[in-house]
């Protein structure tokens, strides 16, 4: 199996609809040994059945990335259980609701700082603090979205955070490459997750992506999970600093694919239907 002998930690699973779950599941199916983390006691209860399914019920650790001490404790727990690890999945992002609506220029500074700390700096801090236990053939993976490259309605502050996250991937890739650590990101198409619930008009985003991606459908958690597993495995041993799009090709489109009726009026085909 592709991930046989690999050991790693997955941060950011909220439930079975999480992209992080899709990645963890794909890695486990290919032979990886996993540890997963939870934010607080409420999530611990939710994740216990998932940890059991993934074969890591004894490696379910607390980790609130806003608390540096919990990251250090996570490193110690991983070192006790695994010695060293071969991969990290960072699937953590947060912005207060006032950062996801209204005028962008009205976003308070405190809101900006929280979003950048949780969504961006946490990747840098985790990479630094867990580096001592990373093998010399390891991989770090985080999750982005197209809103970090282009304007997306209602994405607002999270778009700025994802932009910073993607550049952090590139700088971390150069910084850690000499130690045998690769760093990449997946930019997934819109998927119904707990995080997506906070984005206004998300159902329209799903329809828009479906209509304008070349494959004329939305991607699934399993598809993103398999791509994540590839980037964590030795199959991608020469790939680092990349933003890998798993969005049905939506990111290549420069204009909507508009069709015209007999009267010359435009309309958009939704999954092959008007």
Which of 21, 38, 145, 146 is an active site residue? 145
pTM (predicted TM-score): 0.92
- DSSP 8-state secondary structure symbol assigned to residue 119: I
- Cα of 25 vs its chain's centroid, Å: 14
Instruction: Indicate if 38 belongs to the active site.
Output: no
Instruction: Indicate if 151 belongs to the active site.
Output: no
What's the pLDDT at 272? 46
Numbers of helices and strands, H then E, in the chain: 8, 9
Which of 21, 61, 155, 245 is an active site residue? 155
Residues of the chain with pLDDT > 70, as a percent, come to 92
Residues of the chain with pLDDT > 90, as a percent, come to 78
Tell me which of 37 and 201 has the higher pLDDT: 37
What ranges do the domains of the chain cover? 7-268
Give strand pairing partners of 37: 61
Query: pLDDT digits over 36-64, tens only?
Result: 999 999 999 999 999 999 999 999 999 99
What's the pLDDT at 89? 98
* 270 has pLDDT over 60: no
* 115 has pLDDT over 90: yes
Cα–Cα distance measured from residue 76 to residue 82, given in angstroms and rounded to the nearest whole number: 10
Cα–Cα distance measured from residue 35 to residue 47, given in angstroms and rounded to the nearest whole number: 12
Query: pLDDT digits over 149-171, tens only?
Result: 999 888 999 999 999 999 999 99
What is 7-268's CATH superfamily? NAD(P)-binding Rossmann-like Domain (3.40.50.720)
Name the one residue in this structure whose structure tokens are 């008007």. Answer: 274
CA dist list (Å): 176 to 58, 103, 152, 173, 231: 30, 38, 32, 5, 16
What's the pLDDT at 268? 60
């Amino acid at each position: 199996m592709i991930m046989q002998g690999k050991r790693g930690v997955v941060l950011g699973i909220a439930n079975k609809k999480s992209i992080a779950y899709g990645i963890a599941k794909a890695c486990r199916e290919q032979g990886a040994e996993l540890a997963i983390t939870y934010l607080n006691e409420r999530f611990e209860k939710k994740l216990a059945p998932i940890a059991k399914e993934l074969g890591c019920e004894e490696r379910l650790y607390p980790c609130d990335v806003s608390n540096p001490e919990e990251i250090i404790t996570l490193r110690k727990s991983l070192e006790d259980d695994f010695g060293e690890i071969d991969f990290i999945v960072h699937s953590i992002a947060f912005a207060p609701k006032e950062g996801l609506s209204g005028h962008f220029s009205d976003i308070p500074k405190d809101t900006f700082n929280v979003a950048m700390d949780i969504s961006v700096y946490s990747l840098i801090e985790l990479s630094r603090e867990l580096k001592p236990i990373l093998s010399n053939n390891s991989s770090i993976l985080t999750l982005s979205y197209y809103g970090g490259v282009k304007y997306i309605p209602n994405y607002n502050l999270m778009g700025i955070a994802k932009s910073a996250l993607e550049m952090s991937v590139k700088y971390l890739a150069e910084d850690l490459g000499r130690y045998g650590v690769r760093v990449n990101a997946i930019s997934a198409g819109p998927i119904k997750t707990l995080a997506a619930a906070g984005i206004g008009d998300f159902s329209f985003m799903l329809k828009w992506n479906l209509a304008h991606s070349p494959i004329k459908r939305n991607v699934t958690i399993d598809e993103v999970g398999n791509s994540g597993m590839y980037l964590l495995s030795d199959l991608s041993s020469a790939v680092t600093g990349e933003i890998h799009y798993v969005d049905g090709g939506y990111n290549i489109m420069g204009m909507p694919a508009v069709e015209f009726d007999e009267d010359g009026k435009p309309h958009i085909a939704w999954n092959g239907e008007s």
